[in-house]
Amino acid sequence: MTPYSDRMNERIVVRGVAVAPGVAWGQAVFHESDVDIPILAISEDDVGEELKRLSAALRTTKRHLAALEKNLAQEVGERDARIFAVQGLLLDDPEFRKSMRNRVRRDLVNAEVAVRDEVDEWSRRLRGLSAESERDPGADLRDVGRQVLRVLAGKPRQVPVEGDGIERLIMVAEEFLPSDAANIDRAQLAAIVTVSGGVASHAAILARSLGIPSVTFVEATGLPHHGRRWIVDGNSGQVIVNPTDVEIAEAEARSRDYREFRAALEAETRDFARTKDDVAVELMLNIDVADDLTPESLESLNGVGLYRTEFLYMNRPFFPSEAEQYRHYCDVLRKVGDREVTFRTIDVGGDKPLPYLSVPHEPNPVLGWRGIRLSLEWPDMLYSQLRALLRASAHGRMRVLAPMVTTVEETRRVVAIVREIQSDLKQHDIPFDPDMPVGMMIEIPAAALATGLIARECDFISVGTNDLSQYALAVDRNNSRVADLYQQFHPGLLRLLRDTIGQAGRAEVPLCVCGELAGNPEATLLLLGLGLRSFSMSAYDIPMVKRVVAATDLAYARKVATQAFELVDIADIRAHLRAATLEVAPDLRSLMESDR
């Protein structure tokens, strides 16, 4: 194959993984994030001075992080800006600080080398804990380390850009970290392309919040850049190097239409969701923290279908107390008013390690000790959370959902623990809702096949299609070598989903889909046709799904679903669902032109 360097003027199309939606074009500049540092051997007499330099750099970096959080909160809100508070906690970790000081003393190296080597060591450990995860927990640590090194080197915090004078900049980098997104001149930045980084990374979250189209897992280092024009499609993951003038004009038009139509769609879809034949459909939010909840976000929704409680545990150096959890859950219930919240119990392990929870190394942590498996073996943690949740149930409408359930036996154990805590609360005259529903999350194919059996033991079922798809397809969607195989319209996966919905229906137990598929407007008709009446998704996806729901009747949805199961090829299934969606909602075409 001809090297990219020998094809400087050739039109090249590459595909990565979409991170943040939108389409943009501009001139590409490669950004080198690493900091050049001096490597010095010091004497024992110099150790004291190096430790002073290190301590001063840590204090300065902490102030910089606080300033970044404050400045960014005005632009994207406190929730996403809190990323830098999390980094501050990493910087405050006593073991991390101690290990850097010890390295200076033991190895007789300058502060820069101690920071670099210790960050590398801790990053390797974290990478081992989450080898198959969507989020690289070491990314924030690397970002913190790089910021400390910049302070030690006296480098400016503003990200340097080689292409001064470029009005529309495509930032190409090996890895793009949160401080890059916060420090760069965003009036100049059009899009981001990276070689590595996950869709759930903090940098990706910031890119989405800032509205910067982004694509990752692109082998970009050998592509022609340095002022070459690129088009970045953050919906499909496609990158075009040296596009034609016609393609540039089309990208400009698509970007403009995308922004305008999104704004109009959000303004027009403010009523509760009902089909054309007046059947109510429950639409709810997936959220991580209470900051996501505002009166506007819940104006025409049925509530919160998935509240991920683990984020209360993750951004801190120790377990939250029962009293702290109780106050937090009550605050969430207060914010939603008379709407219902489904609190998922702590889902850590695998891709979400806690810094203060020691878990054994696992060769494949996503298939290991995580979710309810971990909670049932740490009863103190589970009891504390369930007790706080049950006490909070006296103050609003809520449900409790157990993640990563595999067996009927696990379901019975969870329900038994809830009943035990309820009995204790009653004995001590502590108020709670005795009818609070307890549900199980179906994310494992074997559990999906046994939905009817599990449903007999609980009050409701939630289906997490992201993990269910990953396990059923044996595909890590953030692995660029197999990402193309992560196809949520695979006929086998659709049959598994149809069977799961059908089993819950026959058991007369409510079922909600709260994974990525629920927010895909191309899947809305299919899911409605399969009998689904409860969807939970991100706020971004709600207007599009609501538009499809309002434009169809159930007879048409059932017809579309029946026809989908007559098809064999994934491409044909997807084309059929897209055509059917555009048949009822043709105005969504500009948002569905690109692959999701």
- Residues 431 and 394 sit within 8 Å (Cβ to Cβ): yes
596 pLDDT above the threshold of 60: no
**In terms of domains, do 241 and 386 share one?**
no
**In terms of domains, do 16 and 60 share one?**
no
Q: Which of 64, 202, 225, 576 is catalytic?
A: 202
**In terms of domains, do 393 and 369 share one?**
yes
Mark out the alpha helices in 281-407 (DSSP H runs): 310-314, 322-336, 371-377, 379-392
- Which stretch of 132-141, 281-290, 488-497 has the lowest confidence by average pLDDT? 132-141
158 pLDDT above the threshold of 60: no
The pair of three-digit structure tokens given for residue 163, joined into one six-digit string: 């292409």
Strands, E assignment, 246-289 = 282-287
528 pLDDT above the threshold of 60: yes
Rounded Cα distance between 96 and 116, Å, is 12
Average pLDDT (269-284) is: 87
Residue with tokens 């137990």: 509
Instruction: Identify the band that residue 461 occupies on the pLDDT scale cut at 50, 70 and 90.
Output: very high
Higher pLDDT, 382 or 267: 382
Across 108-112, 202-206, 241-245, 564-568, which has the greatest mean pLDDT? Answer: 564-568
291 pLDDT above the threshold of 70: no
pLDDT of residue 573: 97
**In terms of domains, do 306 and 412 share one?**
yes
33 pLDDT above the threshold of 80: no
pLDDT of residue 133: 41
Look at residue 110 and tell me if it is in a domain.
Answer: yes
User: Considering only CA atoms, which of 442, 449, 439 is closest in space to residue 465?
Assistant: 442
Query: Which residue among 116, 134, 153 closes a domain?
Result: 153
For 293-338, the pLDDT digits (tens) are: 766 667 778 899 999 888 787 656 678 899 999 999 999 999 888 8
507-532 burial: b if 16+ Cβ within 10 Å, else e: bebbbbbbbbbbbbbbbbbbbbbbbb
Long-range contacts of 501-506, Cβ-Cβ distance < 8 Å, separation of 24 or more: 501/463, 501/530, 501/531, 501/532, 502/530, 502/531, 503/451, 503/452, 503/455, 504/451, 504/452, 504/455, 504/461, 505/531, 506/452
- Which stretch of 92-101, 300-309, 518-527, 587-596 has the lowest confidence by average pLDDT? 587-596
Residue 308's CATH number: 3.20.20.60
For 129-138, the pLDDT digits (tens) are: 443 344 455 6
487 pLDDT above the threshold of 60: yes
**In terms of domains, do 399 and 507 share one?**
yes
**In terms of domains, do 220 and 146 share one?**
no
User: Considering only CA atoms, which of 218, 324, 224, 306 is closest in space to residue 519?
Assistant: 306
Residue 138's CATH number: 1.10.274.10
**In terms of domains, do 551 and 431 share one?**
yes
Look at residue 231 and tell me if it is in a domain.
Answer: yes
Residue 30's CATH number: 3.50.30.10
Structural domains in the chain (count): 3
- 566 to 98, 416, 517, 521, 569: CA distances (angstroms): 63, 43, 20, 21, 10
Q: Which of 225, 458, 512, 514 is catalytic?
A: 514
440 pLDDT above the threshold of 90: yes
- Residues 394 and 433 sit within 8 Å (Cβ to Cβ): yes
- Residues 596 and 18 sit within 8 Å (Cβ to Cβ): yes
Residue percentage of the chain with pLDDT more than 70: 79
pLDDT of residue 372: 84
Look at residue 255 and tell me if it is in a domain.
Answer: yes
Query: Which residue among 262, 279, 301 closes a domain?
Result: 262
**In terms of domains, do 173 and 211 share one?**
yes
Q: Say what the pTM is.
A: 0.68
pLDDT of residue 529: 97
**In terms of domains, do 372 and 474 share one?**
yes
- Which stretch of 96-105, 353-362, 414-423, 520-529 has the lowest confidence by average pLDDT? 353-362
pLDDT of residue 4: 47
465 pLDDT above the threshold of 60: yes
Rounded Cα distance between 464 and 515, Å, is 5
Look at residue 518 and tell me if it is in a domain.
Answer: yes
pLDDT of residue 595: 40
pLDDT of residue 127: 56
**In terms of domains, do 321 and 227 share one?**
no
Active site residue 514: yes
pLDDT of residue 79: 57
**In terms of domains, do 19 and 142 share one?**
no
Active site residue 202: yes
Q: What's the maximum distance between 2 C-alpha atoms anywhere in the chain?
A: 83
Look at residue 171 and tell me if it is in a domain.
Answer: yes
In which domain, by residue range, is 447 found?
A: 263-592
Rounded Cα distance between 594 and 254, Å, is 10
Rounded Cα distance between 78 and 91, Å, is 20
Look at residue 39 and tell me if it is in a domain.
Answer: no
Query: Which residue among 103, 119, 153 closes a domain?
Result: 153
218-250 burial: b if 16+ Cβ within 10 Å, else e: bebeebbbeebbbbbbbbbbbbbbbbeeeeeeb
Across 27-36, 214-223, 535-544, 550-559, which has the greatest mean pLDDT? Answer: 550-559
**In terms of domains, do 493 and 353 share one?**
yes
